[in-house]
């Protein structure tokens, strides 16, 4: 895509946030035979708690042809795929649903491996167009390391989905060096570490107030991975490590980086002074981190900016234009389908085509290894044109359900 764009050019659009998974019973062939009886017993009594997986649109998660057709109608030619359906032996999609016994953990690991195997096959149905994100657990770092290697060998180019460690999980916090073998293998194999919104919140219950509090706090709990890995020194010890924060918004990033830089400078300065009440909080921090938080963000971090909203776009240079990867969140109700073109017009109308290109495909291609030359013929057929996306959206589709079209939304700077 040139700087000015011409009438016959089209954008290559890669969604950096989509979701997929197998229909429940279709996971069985991907389990080792020793788990088949347990799977049959579990599946026979399982009640799916998610309405979207019971609707007639549920097959968007696993129907490859339908998925390709609907995404192409939206102008999208490639996708990064996070999990969505329920893996075997899990009560819900949450990776942090606490298992009761070691046997539960073993079954959960088997279920995640089954999903990862299924996902590798699903990605292979559309070569070069799907970067699958593998699932792991954090209770056994050695198993996690082995699964990273297996997923890479199987062709899952989306990296791993990093679970959160919410209060009450019983897991070491993400700043702990106990996870160093995991960061090391991800850096060695150039595997992105993805932390998706909603995967780090503690259970709050089903009271109306609890549900409201969850919505207010869930992105904050997801953001915690950023400062845990930064202050924990993971990027200093593993210079090749890449962290992607997905479906957590993007407008919060400049303010949080300023806050982290403030605390870093304050604590490092305090540690260099004679003993004070604050000096102990900064002791050893400079050596552990190796750089300031904003510099670490610049060198190691990216944002999967799902349905980027207009109020976030003016912050793109403060976030880093080379950091932002637009996502449709297909097939979720809050995703932009079938109005992704309209969502892009609402957010990006009036921007230079080179900047739009970076956020729609260039950054995702660099992070996840998509071959833009391979995708170009498909984009030439279905992608939106610069003229189309340059046209401001005057009227929001009446039946649009994505927050991309929500009114208001002041920039939050913490």
- Output the CA–CA distances (angstroms, integers) from residue 226 to 68, 80, 215, 302, in the order listed: 33, 20, 19, 10
> Which residue has tokens 């009761």?
100
Residue 315 falls inside a structural domain: yes
8 A C-beta contact, residue 294 and residue 259: no
pLDDT confidence of residue 48: 82
Residue 44 falls inside a structural domain: yes
Total domains present in the chain: 1
What is the H or E stretch that residue 375 is in?
Answer: helix 372-382
CATH of the domain at 332: 3.20.20.140
d(CA 404, CA 342): 10
Residue 2 falls inside a structural domain: no
pLDDT confidence of residue 97: 63
Asked if pLDDT for residue 93 goes beyond 70, the answer is: no
Residue 413 falls inside a structural domain: no
230-259 average pLDDT score: 97
CA atoms within 13 A on the CB side of 99: 17
Q: Which two tokens stand for residue 376?
A: 């170009």
SS3 59: helix
Asked if pLDDT for residue 143 goes beyond 50, the answer is: yes
Asked if pLDDT for residue 412 goes beyond 60, the answer is: no
User: pLDDT tens digits, residue range 52-65?
Assistant: 888 889 999 999 99
pLDDT confidence of residue 205: 87
Asked if pLDDT for residue 120 goes beyond 70, the answer is: yes
d(CA 179, CA 398): 47
Q: What range does the domain containing 248 cover?
A: 14-405
pLDDT confidence of residue 145: 98
Residue 34 falls inside a structural domain: yes
pLDDT confidence of residue 357: 98
158: nearest Cα among 168, 148, 167, 173: 148
Asked if pLDDT for residue 5 goes beyond 60, the answer is: no
Residue 302 falls inside a structural domain: yes
Of 49-53, 90-94, 335-339, 371-375, the range with the lowest mean pLDDT is 90-94
What DSSP letter does each residue of 162-226 carry, written as one string? PPP--TTS-SPPTTSGGGHHHHHHHHHTT--EEEETTSSPPP--SSHHHHHHHHHHHHHHHHHHH
Of 198-207, 230-239, 293-302, 375-384, the range with the lowest mean pLDDT is 198-207
Asked if pLDDT for residue 397 goes beyond 60, the answer is: yes
Report the mean per-residue pLDDT for the chain: 93
Asked if pLDDT for residue 316 goes beyond 90, the answer is: yes
More confident residue, 130 or 91: 130
Of 148-152, 266-270, 313-317, the range with the lowest mean pLDDT is 266-270
71: nearest Cα among 138, 140, 12: 12
273-302 average pLDDT score: 92
pLDDT confidence of residue 294: 98
Q: How confident is the model at residue 263 (pLDDT cuts 50, 70, 90)?
A: very high
Residue 64 falls inside a structural domain: yes
Q: Encode 265-281 in three state secondary structure.
A: HHHHHHHCCCCCCCHHH
Q: Across 269-340, where does the E strand assignment appear?
A: 301-306, 324-327
Provide the β-strand partners of residue 83: 20
95-101 average pLDDT score: 68
Q: How confident is the model at residue 262 (pLDDT cuts 50, 70, 90)?
A: very high
> Which residue has tokens 């850096």?
187
Q: For residue 235, is it left (φ>0), alpha (ψ between -120 and 50) or beta?
A: alpha
Residue 5 falls inside a structural domain: no
SS3 40: helix
Taking the whole predicted model, whether its pTM rises above 0.85 is answered as yes
Q: What b-and-e string marks burial along 217-237, b requiring 16 or more CB atoms within 10 Å of the CB?
A: ebbebbbbbbbbbbbbbbbee
Residues 6 or more apart whose Cβ sits within 8 Å of residue 262: none
Q: Which two tokens stand for residue 92?
A: 């819900």
pLDDT confidence of residue 47: 86
């Amino acid at each position: 895509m040139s700087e000015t764009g011409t009438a016959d050019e089209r954008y290559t659009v890669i969604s950096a946030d989509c979701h997929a998974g197998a229909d429940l019973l279709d996971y069985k062939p991907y389990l080792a035979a020793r788990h088949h009886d347990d799977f049959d017993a579990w599946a026979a009594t399982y009640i799916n708690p998610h309405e979207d997986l019971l609707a007639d649109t549920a097959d968007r998660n696993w129907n490859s042809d339908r998925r390709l057709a609907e995404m192409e109608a939206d102008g999208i030619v490639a996708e990064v795929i996070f999990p969505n359906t329920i893996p075997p032996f899990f009560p819900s999609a949450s990776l942090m649903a606490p298992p009761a016994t070691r046997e539960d953990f073993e079954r959960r690991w088997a279920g995640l491996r089954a999903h990862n195997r299924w996902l590798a096959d699903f990605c292979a149905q559309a070569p070069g167009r799907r970067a699958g994100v593998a699932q792991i657990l954090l209770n056994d770092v050695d198993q996690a390391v082995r699964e990273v290697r297996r997923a890479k060998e199987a062709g899952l180019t989306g990296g791993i989905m990093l679970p959160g460690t919410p209060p009450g999980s019983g897991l070491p916090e993400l700043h702990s060096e106990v996870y160093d073998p995991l960061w090391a293998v991800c850096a060695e194999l150039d595997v992105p570490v993805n932390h998706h919104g909603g995967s780090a919140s503690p259970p709050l219950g089903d009271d109306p107030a609890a549900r409201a509090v969850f919505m207010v706090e869930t992105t904050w709990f997801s953001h915690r991975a950023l400062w845990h890995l930064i202050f924990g020194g993971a990027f200093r010890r593993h210079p090749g490590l890449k962290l992607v924060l997905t479906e957590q918004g993007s407008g919060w990033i400049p303010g949080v980086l300023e806050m982290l830089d403030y605390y870093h400078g304050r604590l490092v300065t305090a540690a260099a002074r004679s003993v004070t009440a604050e000096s102990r909080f900064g002791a050893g921090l400079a050596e552990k981190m190796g750089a300031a938080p904003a510099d670490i963000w610049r060198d190691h971090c990216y944002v999967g900016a799902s349905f980027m909203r207009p109020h976030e776009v003016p912050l793109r240079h403060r976030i880093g234009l080379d950091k932002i990867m637009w996502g449709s969140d297909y097939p979720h109700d809050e995703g932009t389908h079938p109005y992704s073109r309209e969502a892009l017009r609402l957010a990006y109308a009036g921007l230079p085509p080179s900047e739009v290109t970076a956020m729609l495909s260039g950054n995702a291609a660099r992070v996840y290894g998509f071959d833009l030359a391979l995708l170009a013929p498909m984009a030439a057929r279905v992608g939106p044109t610069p003229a189309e996306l340059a046209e401001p959206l005057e009227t929001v589709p009446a039946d649009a359900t994505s927050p991309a079209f929500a009114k208001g939304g002041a920039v939050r700077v913490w």
